[in-house]
């Protein structure tokens, strides 16, 4: 008797077919969710840079950091205080050491770090490696969804980072994202 009314039947089916899969923890985005747009960012390109270093990523998309030699990280900061953690809960990947390949091909760490874009606010980030004079101070920084009209641009952020003194900030443990298996550690991104 439930589905004798065809309109009711159709609307009931439509309700079922549009139901979204649920995730148990919104802080651990699954790479297998098909609707997730993923932005690959490579840490450690020559010159100690992120590539790309300016990213445009819609709410709900995933930032996926891949790490090249020798030993990089990604940490969230504010625009005005580069090389320092944004807050007690802002994202921190930990370090991803990896050796160069003897044959000269591009090596990457067997794990990646993923962060979900939760809102439309700019996301400022840096590498916390203090070796080589400090990667953040040296310009290993980036931004997601910068607002050029605000004057807060990657160029200005990098200038502020260059003036930073002291060791770059880290969190006590990996947080604010998901550290997991690299989908393609032997080449490509
Ligand atoms: C990577 O860098 C971090 C931070 O400087 C350091 O604690 C860690 O020992 C390094 N790992 C390797 C394998 O060099
Ligand atoms: Cu680095």
Q: Which ligand is nearest to the CA of 44?
A: 2
Give the tens place of pLDDT for each residue, 138-181. Answer: 999 999 999 999 999 999 999 999 999 999 999 999 999 999 99
Residue 6 inside a domain? The answer is: no
Which among 69, 185, 183 has a CA at the least distance from the CA of 127?
Answer: 69
Q: What is the mean pLDDT of the chain?
A: 86
Residue 64 inside a domain? The answer is: yes
Q: If you take atom 1 of ligand 1, which residue's CA is the nearest one?
A: 71
Proportion of the chain above pLDDT 70, given as a percent:
80
Average pLDDT over residues 11-33: 41
Burial of 134 (0-12, 13-18, 19+ CB in 10 A): buried
Does the Cβ of 85 fall within 6 Å of ligand 1?
no
Residue 115 inside a domain? The answer is: yes
Alpha helices for the chain (secondary structure H): 6-17, 154-162
Q: Which domain holds residue 40?
A: 35-179
Residue 8 inside a domain? The answer is: no
Question: Could you tell me the distance, in angstroms and rounded to a whole number, from the CA of residue 23 to the centre of ligand 2?
Answer: 32
Pocket residue to mutate for ligand 1, from 70, 75, 97, most atoms within 8 A of Cβ: 97
Phi, psi of 121 (to 5 degrees): -70, 150
Q: What residue has token string 């006590």?
A: 172
Number of domains making up the chain: 1
- In ligand 1, the atom with minimum distance to the C-alpha of 71 is 1
What confidence score (pLDDT) does residue 176 get?
A: 98
Residue 26 inside a domain? The answer is: no
Residue 29 inside a domain? The answer is: no
Question: Could you tell me the distance, in angstroms and rounded to a whole number, from the CA of residue 44 to the centre of ligand 2?
Answer: 6
- Does a cis peptide bond (omega within 30 degrees of 0) precede residue 52? yes
Pairing of strands 62-67, 111-116: antiparallel
The answer on pLDDT for 61 being more than 80 is yes
Q: Categorize the per-residue pLDDT at 34 as very low, low, confident or very high, splitting at 50, 70 and 90.
A: low
In the sheet with 62-67, reading across from the earlier edge strand, the strands are 49-51, 38-45, 62-67, 111-116, 178-181
What confidence score (pLDDT) does residue 19 get?
A: 36
């Amino acid at each position: 008797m439930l589905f004798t009314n065809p309109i009711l039947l159709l609307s009931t089916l439509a309700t079922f077919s549009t139901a979204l899969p649920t995730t148990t923890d919104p802080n651990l985005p699954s790479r297998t969710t098909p609707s997730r747009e993923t932005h690959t960012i490579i840490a450690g390109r020559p010159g100690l840079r992120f590539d790309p270093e300016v990213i445009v990523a819609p709410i709900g998309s995933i930032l996926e950091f891949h790490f090249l030699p020798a030993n990089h990280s990604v940490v969230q900061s504010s625009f005005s205080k580069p090389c320092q953690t944004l807050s007690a809960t802002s994202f921190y990947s930990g370090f991803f050491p990896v050796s160069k390949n003897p044959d000269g091909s591009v090596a990457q760490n067997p794990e990646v770090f993923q962060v979900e874009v939760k809102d439309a606010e700019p996301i400022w980030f840096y590498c916390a490696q203090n070796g080589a004079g400090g990667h953040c101070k040296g310009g290993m920084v980036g931004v997601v969804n910068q607002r050029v009209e605000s004057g807060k641009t990657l160029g200005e952020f990098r200038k502020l980072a260059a003036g930073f003194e002291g060791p770059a900030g880290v969190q006590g443990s990996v947080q604010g994202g998901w550290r997991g298996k690299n989908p393609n550690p032997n080449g490509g991104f």
